[in-house]
Structure 1
Amino acid sequence: MIILTVMIREKLIMENRKTKNEKNQKEEIELKEEAAVSTGENTPLDNEETKSKEKRTASLEKENECLRKELDEQKEKYLRLFAEYDNYRKRTNKETSEAYSRATAEAVTSFLPLLDNLERAQQYAPDDEGMRALIKQLQDILVSLKVTVIDSDNKCFDPNFHNAIMHEEDESTEECRIVQTFQKGYMLGDKVIRHAMVKVVN
């Protein structure tokens, strides 16, 4: 009986010591963690969280870099496409304008002889109101198409606008001066569609 009591007592003492040791170890760990926090050192848990955050940050930075690269590529494609479209638009507008000018010049040139004949006929019938009205109507059409008459009378001869079909000697007149216009010249905008036929002093 005494032996059993002694054994139980020793067992209780050992368990009590074990409990104290575990408690002391726990308190020691807590003290170390508190000391680490106060000194700025990372605990194992903090280290895991830090590594996880760093890994997540690296992943986001890599994804962001990929998106930025893709955005730059799309921007470059857009700018190139916009430049191509702008060049196409300018080229198309220029071609359309040139085609319109050519068609207008051809149409005007085709009825200029009619206007020439009417103006010559008017010199012999200056009081013919019908002829005068018809000439005025044709001249208004030319104005609406931005067709202008080349000024020739008493002007200095310019081969860009005039075609000299006759020459005469006259010492009293400045050389290369136009003294007579046989046929009017016309321009469409800044383009000559028919040169003026003139007489020039040598």
Structure 2
Amino acid sequence: MAHSPGDGEGPHTGPDEDLRRLKAEYDNYRRRVHRDRLAVREIAVSNVLSRLLPVLDALDQARAAGEVVDGFGAVADLLEAELGALGLVSFGEPGEPFDPGLHLAVAYTRSAVVTGPVCVEVVRTGYRVGDQLLRPAEVVVAEPPWG
């Protein structure tokens, strides 16, 4: 079938159509590069934050022992604030409903005061960045007694 120059098909489309196609291709390229850069940034941030989790564990242990005071306490607070600004979120609190996607049960008990699986003790805090789980919270879980 023969194509006329103005029908939008075939090898001889007009210069306006060529320009629109080139602009659309460039816009798609620009969006793809932007999306890829964001993905690489998220991966890099997650990798760095994952490496700092033992430091945060040490701070938690020092706080529990009452050793995070004065200047060291100010440094610890600043570190946690800066990591939070990078998107690090801690989770795992007693009383939270147990979620196997976020919590790792390290012990299990029965309790008459709960109506469903609940975290009753946090052994180790969990962390995530955005939707990415860096480490589940290690918890003791209580469930209601059997019938």
Pairwise TM-score range, normalised by the shorter structure: 0.7 to 0.9
1:142 to 75, 80, 83: 83
Which runs of structure 2 are paired with 1:40-189 in the superposition (5 Å)?
73-126=14-67, 128-189=69-130
Could you say which structure has the higher strand fraction?
2
Counterpart residue type for residue 129 of structure 1: D
Gaps in structure 1 of 5+ consecutive residues: 1-64
What TM-score, normalized by structure 2, do the two folds share?
Answer: 0.80
Local SS of the residue matching 1:182: strand
Task: Determine which structure has greater relative contact order: mean sequence separation of CA pairs < 8 Å that are 6+ residues apart, divided by chain length.
Answer: 2
**Which consecutive segments of 4 or more residues in structure 1 shift more than 3 A?**
none
- Which residue does 1:192 correspond to in 2? 133
Match of 1:23 in 2: none
Q: TM-score, normalised by structure 1?
A: 0.60
Matched residues in 2 for 1:125 and 1:131: separation? 11
Query: Helix, strand or coil: the match of 1:172?
Result: coil
Q: Match for 1:136: what amino acid? A: D
Q: Confirm or deny: 8 A CA contact 2:59 2:68 kept in the other structure.
A: no
Instruction: Measure the CA separation in 1 of the matches of 2:93 and 2:101.
Output: 12
1:22 maps to: none
Query: Which amino acid in the other structure matches residue 94 of structure 2?
Result: D
Give the aligned length.
137
Aligned to 1:42: none
Give, in angstroms, the shift of residue 153 of structure 1.
Answer: 2.4
- Ranges in structure 2 where 5+ consecutive residues have no aligned partner: none
Q: Point out the structure with max Rg over C-alpha.
A: 1
Secondary structure at 1:171 match in 2: coil
Aligned partner of residue 115 in structure 1, secondary structure: helix
CA contact (8 A) 1:119 1:135 kept: no
Preserved contact between residue 94 and residue 121 of structure 2 (Cα < 8 Å): yes
Give the superposition deviation at 1:138.
Answer: 1.4
Give the drift of 1:201.
1.3
SS in 2 for 1:135: helix
User: Identity across aligned pairs (percent)?
Assistant: 27
Q: CA deviation at 1:129?
A: 1.8
Q: For 2:142 and 2:25, how far apart are their aligned partners in 1?
A: 54
Structure 1 residues 143-173: Cα deviation after superposition (integer angstroms, max 9, x where no partner): 2212222253211111222222221111222
Query: Within 2, Cα distance between the matches of 1:149 and 1:92?
Result: 31
Q: How far does the alpha carbon of each residue in 1:95-131 deviate from its partner, in whole angstroms, 9 at most, with x for none? A: 1101101110111111111111122122212563233
Amino acid of the structure 1 residue aligned with 2:15: Q
Alpha-carbon displacement from aligned partner over 1:20-56 (angstroms, at most 9, x marks no partner): xxxxxxxxxxxxxxxxxxxxxxxxxxxxxxxxxxxxx
**Which residue of structure 2 aligns with residue 11 of structure 1?**
none
Richer in helix (by share): 1
